Amino acid sequence: MAVLSVCSAETLTDAAKALRAGALVAFPTETVYGLGADAESAEAVARIYSTKGRPADHPLIVHIDSIDRMGEWSSDIPAYAIALARDYWPGPMTLVLKRSEIAGDFITGGQETVGLRVPAHPLALGLLQAFVAAGGRGIAAPSANRFGAVSPTTADAVQEELGEFLAESDLILDGGPSLVGLESTIIDCTGDAPRVLRLGAITHEMIEETTGLKVIENDTAPEIRVSGSLESHYSPKAKVLLDVVAEAGDGLIAPDQIPTPNGVIRLMAPSTIEQYARDLYRALRMADQQGLEIVVVLQPGGDGLAAAIRDRLQRAAHE
Ligand code: TXA
Ligand code: MG
């Protein structure tokens, strides 16, 4: 497996051809790094599952190069979903729609729906465009971590997570740190109104403003499988304790106005909520690199992105 940090047009064309030939290509997105495979190849997609150690009945997000390809992968698209796509694509949002016939069971986990996203990172878009030029239609990509672990927000973190499981012909594209830092907001658009399945940077307020509809609170319908909705997920090896006093030897993640007690290892001191989201996974990873046993996290207050951060922290802390 090669790590490519100079991503010229030629590199992207080569990576796109590798994908078409059945290789896996990890690539940056603005949310987290994804582990990509040709979404129309059952064999390539099977390698995503084995590389991640992920159960094969979990559906994957199909990444597409533009809103124009929505109708290729899905059908019966409601007007509010088109409004969302117009306003927030490319961007950190996944729409769950009724699948078309090209979305195979190996993508949807056998469900009648498919998750679609146009990512905003220029390298991801460049790769998708090169992939279309090479005859492809969509890149299936979960976060590029082992199942249940913290999502990678840098190419180094991808290598650390998956390096030993990738094959020689697989690639990792390095596009610098992900700027959002939390996985996309997932919105189920199969009902009369949008239902948020996973919180993210596209907030309830933004969804309601665009659609003029009230977001349906997620009652975690058991028939919909969102692996990120398992109670324990996004977990580092260190034990994560929320909103307690850190003791000497513990790691600490807290807003910048909170001082660091004596002997405590400060992992992150964000001054904004965007910074908190962007750096959180890197800080959790740092705790493991330093061999810490406990990371104390003081959760941010507020709605929107803060609520998405608390959602991930609660799963990271769940045993
Ligand atoms: O930001 C992101 O969404 C990143 C980047 C790489 O795009 N991807 C990501 O993928 O987080 P993953 O597989 O780690 O999480 C996607 C979640 C999974 O929990 C999956 O179950 C859910 O999306 N999902 C995918 N298709 C779905 C569908 N048709 N219905 C319900 N949930 C779906
Ligand atoms: Mg994931």
Tell the burial category of 217 from Cβ atoms under 10 Å away from its Cβ (0-12, 13-18, 19+): exposed
How far the first Cα of the chain sits from its last, in Å, is 33
Which stretch of DSSP H or E encloses residue 155? helix 155-162
The answer as to whether 234 is a domain residue is no
CA of 142 to the centre of ligand 1 (A): 6
Q: How would you classify residue 181: left for phi > 0, otherwise alpha for psi between -120 and 50, otherwise beta?
A: left
The answer as to whether 102 is a domain residue is yes
Q: How would you classify residue 119: left for phi > 0, otherwise alpha for psi between -120 and 50, otherwise beta?
A: beta
Alpha-carbon gap, residue 283 to 295, rounded angstroms? 10
Among 274, 244, 277, which Cα is nearest to 258's? 244
Return the CATH number at 301: 3.40.50.11030
Q: Residue 190 CA: which ligand is closest?
A: 1
Q: Which residues contact 205 (CB under 8 A, 6 or more apart)?
A: 303, 304
Q: What is the CB neighbour count within 10 angstroms for residue 97? A: 26
Is the separation of the CB atoms in 245 and 261 below 8 Å?
Answer: yes
Pocket of ligand 1 (CB under 6 A): 29, 31-32, 34, 58-61, 94, 96, 108, 111, 113-115, 117, 119, 141-143, 183-184, 186, 197, 224-228
pLDDT tens-digit profile, the chain (319 residues): 889 987 799 999 999 999 999 999 999 999 999 999 999 999 999 999 999 998 888 899 999 999 999 999 999 999 999 999 999 999 999 999 999 999 999 999 999 999 999 999 999 999 999 999 999 999 999 999 999 899 999 999 999 999 999 999 999 999 999 999 999 999 999 999 999 999 999 999 999 999 999 999 776 544 444 545 555 677 899 999 999 999 999 999 999 999 999 999 999 999 999 999 999 999 999 999 999 999 999 999 999 999 999 999 999 998 7
Same-domain pairing of 16 and 157: yes
Same-domain pairing of 44 and 152: yes
> What's the pTM value of the predicted model, to 2 decimals?
0.95
Alpha-carbon gap, residue 3 to 170, rounded angstroms? 9
Residues in the chain: 319
Split into its structural domains, the chain has a count of 2
Same-domain pairing of 64 and 138: yes
Same-domain pairing of 160 and 91: yes
Task: Pick from 94, 97, 198, 230 the residue to mutate for probing ligand 1's pocket: most ligand atoms within 8 Å of its CB.
Answer: 94
Q: Residue 198 CA: which ligand is closest?
A: 1
Q: Which amino acid is at 134?
A: A
The domain containing residue 57 runs over which residues?
2-211
CA of 41 to the centre of ligand 1 (A): 18
Return the CATH number at 77: 3.90.870.10
Token digits of residue 70: 């929505």
Q: Which amino acid is at 245?
A: V
Which stretch of DSSP H or E encloses residue 173? strand 171-173
Q: Residue 199 CA: which ligand is closest?
A: 1
